[in-house]
Amino acid sequence: MDPLGHLIDTSRRELQGGASDPRRLFVSGAISRLRRGFYVPTDLWVSLEVRDRFLLVLAAHAQANPGTVFCGETALFLHGIPTVKAPSAVEVATTTTSRLGTRPCTFEVRGDGSLAARARKLGAHPIRRHHHADIEPVIVGEFETVPLALALVEVLAGGKFARALTVADGVLRRQPDVPLLDRSEMVAAISNLPHRSHRLRAELVAGLARKGAESPGESVGRALMHLFGFPEPELQVVHYDALGFVGRTDYYWGQAEAERAVHSRERLDPVGEFDGWGKYFREEMTRGEDPREIIRREKRRENRLLALGHPTLRLDWLDLERPAQFRAKLVAVGLRPTASSALADKRA
């Protein structure tokens, strides 16, 4: 289903009386207002994934404001770069210095039904305008954005560290053999940042991007490791035993000290896996396989890794949302912070 096909633009239709009158539908709560003049069926709104809802908001803004050029994380989202979540605001580039900053959205849902109440809880996105001295937009589907490198540098310079590292990893994956700081368009975008602190921050995060990070969850996990001062793991390391191929792990810490038992110590090399629940329950990832069989297979794999001296650390989104719990799980497999983090002022 294409959610954009359900966007209602009241400027393109006659507002006639009757049950199909958008004004009546809005008052009853049957449709929700994304912005003035643009609506979407409320039942559709609550059924969509958060990313599809954000795409509808962008479409409504672009149609209401022809020539809109999106920037920052919004532009990266439109370019298909994986983000931690849908961006928190609609980021728009402007060459003027007036009306900069964040302005509230005009999202509204009326009606007293439970569906309307659910729609209101989902909320919407404010508009955030960023000054750009010059704008040379690129076309991405039905939208216009600033160039990809410029959008990335905006996020690296000012975004939260975990979100910035996630999109840096995502951009690097598209051309993994060329480090971000070896790309002329990245160097130019960073050098054009007006503040030295922003240039240093963008260079720091770009230098931490790794091509082996295959999902936002893995990137956020690595960001937290940096923030807590833990050693950085190797990514996507392949393991073998006497029976052959065991598997490829998201994280690997070679030569890490860990306690094997209360009264004995030996050198163990922990490995880590980020578990998105989709691999157990989403049809396109399980390919119809029983989730219980997937779990059994992973348990056998874990046992083989442990026999090789690799205790397995399993992480999920809940761990990432609870940093103290995340840190405790790293310590539990024998990892220790090696130094105070240079990123301590850039909390995830």
Confidence class for position 20, pLDDT limits 50, 70, 90? low
For residue 146, what pLDDT is reported?
Answer: 97
Percent of the chain's residues with pLDDT above 90 = 64
Beta strands in 66-174 (DSSP E): 69-70, 90-94, 101-103, 127-131, 138-140, 143-145
Across residues 80-101, what is the average pLDDT?
91
| Low-confidence winner among 1-15, 92-106, 163-177, 253-267 (lowest mean pLDDT) | 253-267
For residue 312, list its beta bridge partners. Answer: 271
10-44 CB burial, b ≥16 within 10 A, e <16: beeeeeeeeeeebeebbeebbbbbbbebbbbbbeb
Across residues 21-25, what is the average pLDDT?
80
Question: How far apart (Å, rounded) are the C-alpha atoms in residues 313 and 310?
Answer: 9
Q: Name the CA dihedral angle for 100, 106, 107, 108, rounded to a multiple of 10 degrees.
A: 160
Question: How far apart (Å, rounded) are the C-alpha atoms in residues 79 and 9?
Answer: 25
Q: Could you give the C-alpha distances from 96 to 92, 99, 101, in angstroms and in order?
A: 12, 8, 12
184-233: pLDDT as tens digits: 999 999 999 999 999 999 999 999 999 999 999 999 999 999 999 999 99
For helices 196-208 and 161-174, the axis angle rounded to 10 degrees is 60
Give the chain's mean pLDDT: 86
pTM: 0.86
For residue 347, what pLDDT is reported?
Answer: 43
Confidence class for position 341, pLDDT limits 50, 70, 90? low
What is the greatest pairwise CA distance in the chain? 82
Confidence class for position 260, pLDDT limits 50, 70, 90? very low
Q: With beta carbons less than 8 A apart as the criterion, state whether 105 and 126 touch.
A: yes
Both structure tokens of 180: 């971000």
| Low-confidence winner among 42-51, 249-258, 279-288, 312-321 (lowest mean pLDDT) | 279-288
Both structure tokens of 296: 């059994």
Residue 262 has pLDDT above 70, yes or no: no
Across residues 24-41, what is the average pLDDT?
90
172-198: pLDDT as tens digits: 999 999 999 999 999 999 999 999 999
- The closest alpha carbon to 190, from 154, 148, 233, belongs to 154
275-308: pLDDT as tens digits: 865 454 555 555 566 677 777 888 898 989 989 9
| Low-confidence winner among 15-24, 136-145, 336-345 (lowest mean pLDDT) | 15-24
